[in-house]
Every structure is written in structure tokens, then in C-alpha cells.
Chain A
Amino acid sequence: MIEFTDVTKAYSVGNQALRGVSLQIEDGEFAFLVGPSGSGKSTVIKLITGELRPTSGSVHVNGYSLERIRKREIPYLRRTVGVVFQDFRLIETKTVYENVAFAMRVIGAQEKEIRERVPYVLELVGLETKSRRHPNELSGGEQQRLAIARALVNNPSTIIADEPTGNLDPARSLEIMSLLQEINNLGTTILVVTHELDLVERFEKRVIVLNEGLIVSDGMDGCYSYENQ
């Protein structure tokens, strides 16, 4: 579960990225986070992953209190939250298989587990036939699916995607969203940050609208044409 209570975040004095945000995302939910550029969406994500600490207010993520988490606990928090970015962040020198296996290896997984889990995840994202390729031999959509496989492989309870379709054409974007929905159906909480409102409209999901560091709308009713506000 993700819970923000009156969260503010100031990068410096007078530069408030978040100005009192409260929200709650239950386990198993699927939610979109939308808002104009500079409204504080990435800041929300960095607060969830422990990259930043709130200036005031409290942030709870999967049982961890981010405002007082210890440095050495942060890795364990991150194992509960898989992250996907617009720019994929893959290792170019490793194969598809190795990119996914790497994420397991670095948290100390056994080789045996890795050999079982990686093919399963690759099949889930539809890359089972391309496991020996390198990232530069994949299309943009495939690269993003590989990034999702990697985020998924350690079985996190939550997946967060920051503009996952920003680099993709509309058809590929739709595929990625469908894949995330499929993963959500298997029980994983999903939070997707995006600009693409027409894509958001296709999925009848919860939409949280952020503007200038404040939540201006949160619900299933589709009131998120923030461009006009």
C-alpha cells in the first residue's frame, strides 16, 4: 500500500515541488498519475522509492515509513517496488536474458531460482523467443517490455512506471498499457505516470491529477482535462 499524508517536498527554499499531497493507493489497484510538466509527478515517484525524503508529512510504502527509513533499509523497500522508466535503462552489453537475470543476481538470488524465474517473466512480457538478443537488437516496445520484465522479476508488490510510453508510437503504447493491466490482474499494484490523456481514457481506471504540487482531482470519473485548468 502507498499512502501520502500532507506531503510537501521543497528542493530548496521557495522551490516547492509538492505542496501538501495526500493520497492512498491500495494493494492490487491500478492508478494513473497525470499532470502538466513540472507538476511534481516524478517527485512523487522519487519519494516512493526512497530517492528523496519528504520535507514534511508522511509517506508509507509497503510497510516502510519513508520519512524515517534507515539508509540500509532502503534496498529492501526497493525490492517491493519495481520501477520502469521512459528511457528503459537497460545494460547494452548484456543479453535480454542476462538483463533480467542481473536484477535477481544482485539481490543474492540462487542460480536455480534465476533459471526458473527469468524464462517465466520473459514469456509473460512476450520476449521468450528473443532472450539471446541484445537491447539494441530490439524495437522500442520490446525494450520497454524487457524493462518491465526486469522490474517484475523479483516479484515486487508494486510496479511504478514513469512515462513508460513516452518513447513509443500509439500502437506500442497501447500494448505496454495492456501488458501492465495484465500484470495488475495477477495481483501487482500499478501506478503509471503519463502525459498521454487519450491513452488514459481508453482504460477506465483511477486517475490522480497533479497540478503545481497539489492534487486537483482523484477518481474514476474522468475529470482530468488538466490542460484547460
Chain B
Amino acid sequence: MKEGIRGIFLHGFMSFAAVCVTVACLLIVGSFSILTYNVNIMVEDLNKTNEILVYIDTALSDAEAKSVGTQINRIENVQNAVFVSREEALEKFVADHQGDDAFSGVEASDLRHRFVVTLADNELMEQTVATLEGISGVANINAAFELAEGFTTLQKMLQIASLAVITILLVVSLLIISNTVKLSMYDRRDEIAIMKMVGATNGFIRLPFVVEGFTLGMLGAAMAFFLEWLLYNGLIARLEVVDSLKLFSFVPFTELLWPMIATFVATGLFVGVVGSWTSIRKFMDV
């Protein structure tokens, strides 16, 4: 135990490097997972509101506008279509933009009648929109599929990128910890030889080196965790200033606290113990 901790100080530079790489690794791992998590939530939100707004030509009378609904409902992928008159739309608009002077002059006649259309299958959104456009009386369609697709692509890219980066960094971190421990073992090879000679068990001989690897891993995990916290909160504060449209919604860090702690501790543990173990195995078998 004591010896394991001592090893860390003996190889100050290597230990420092090992901890730094672990911190960097975990920071990136953490950032990617937080980002992925947030994007996942955003994509989910978008999918939940998989509504299309179908605006009706203003030349049509109120009754005519309403009757377009039967045609819309006939389309296979349409789950349901709710008519919203321009008056109702105005009410909602006013409610949404209360206190916003820029919109105070808007009147019902500036808006159009519309149908709020919900789709059965969002994947087919593009086709359905095309069909909707073909209906006479339909002036315009507002579908968020570009945004939704953009997020889905981002989500996929993030997943692939984070997997690649995480794997590489985990390997690097494992190698460095493994090397630090190897250095420690090399330093104490005479003692190890004597221990073996007088009949110390392998478990006993290994223990201080596992402790060393474990401590390095956990040190890295703890530092990375707090840095991540600071960074994330800083980032949110920045984004809130820039992103006044609330296009992005971020989960507060505290909501991620426990999963993050679990991830960091598990990674630190894994890197530390596996890293030292590989060195120890090689060294002990000689």
C-alpha cells in the first residue's frame, strides 16, 4: 500500500504524464458523451413534435379551407390533421411572443388557416410532404425534416467519432499507466526477485503495483470529473448568450452527475488496474 503510493512520487514525471493523459482521455470521453447525450435528447424532442404545418391558400374561403382536411386525411402516412383557424393561430402566436414588441401589430388576416398534421412514420416525412404539396389549396408546408435530419446526422457522426476517439485515448492511457508501473517494477526488480526467492505469493508482490495503477487512474478520474464540470457549465453559460433563439437545449450538469461519476470512476479503475496488470503479468512471468 505505502509502497504503491511511494512509487508515484518516485516517478514524478511519468506519474504526472500518466495522470494528465488519463485526465485528457476522460475529458474527451466525458465531453463526447455529454454532447451525444444532449443531441440524443434534442433529436428525441424533435421526433416527439413530428408535426407538419400545412398552410392553406388565402384565396380559399373558411369552409373551403376546412374541407382540404379530408384530402389530407386520405394520405396514408397521415395519422391525424387538426384544423387551426387563423384566429386561433393568432391567439397562440400572441401568447408565445408576449411582451415582444416586434410582433404587437400582427392581425389575424396576416396569418393563414392551417392544418397541424401528425405523421405515423417520421422516416417517410419527405415523401408525405411531397404528396401534401400536390393537394390543391395547399399553399405552403413547414416541416422540420431538414433540422431533424441534420441532428440525426450529427448524432451518428458524434457516435462514430466519440467511439474512435475514446478507443484511441483509452489505449494511450492504458499504455502510459502500464509503462509507469513497469518503471516502478523495474526500479524494484531486486526486491521483487528477493520476494520471489523467499516465497512471497504473486498476489502479495503485485499489490503495491496494482495500488499504484489504481491510484493513478482514480487521480486522473477525479481531476477530469471536476474539470469537465467547470468546462460544461462555462460552455452552457456562453451558449445561452449566443443562442437566444433557444435552438439548443442543454441538460444541467447536475442531472448527469451520477452517470458521470460512475463513468469516470469506472474508466479510471479500468485504466489503472488493467494498465498495471498488463505490466505486472509480463514482469512476473520472467
Chain A positions near chain B (C-beta within 8 angstroms): 49, 71-72, 75-79, 82-83, 89, 91, 102-103, 106-108, 150-151, 154
Contact = CB atoms under 8 A, between A and B. Distances in A.
B201 A75 contact: yes
A108 B193 CA distance: 17
Given A106-B204, A108-B204, A75 B199 contact: yes
A150 B204 contact: no
B190 A106 contact: no
Contacts of B195: 106
Given A79-B199, A91-B190, A107-B204, 11 more contacts: A75-B201, A78-B196, A89-B194, A89-B197, A91-B194, A106-B198, A107-B198, A107-B200, A107-B201, A150-B198, A151-B198
Contacts, number: 46
Given A106-B204, A108-B204, A89 B190 contact: yes
B249 interface: no
A78 B201 contact: no
22 contacts: A71-B202, A72-B201, A72-B202, A75-B199, A75-B201, A75-B202, A78-B196, A78-B197, A82-B198, A89-B193, A89-B197, A91-B190, A103-B194, A106-B194, A106-B198, A106-B200, A106-B204, A106-B205, A107-B198, A107-B200, A107-B201, A154-B198
Contact of A78 (B190, B199, B205): B199
Contacts of B201: 72, 75, 107
A-B pairs with lowest CB-CB distance, top 4? A78-B199, A79-B199, A106-B200, A103-B198
Contacts of B200: 75, 106-107
Nearest to B195: A106
B194 A79 contact: no
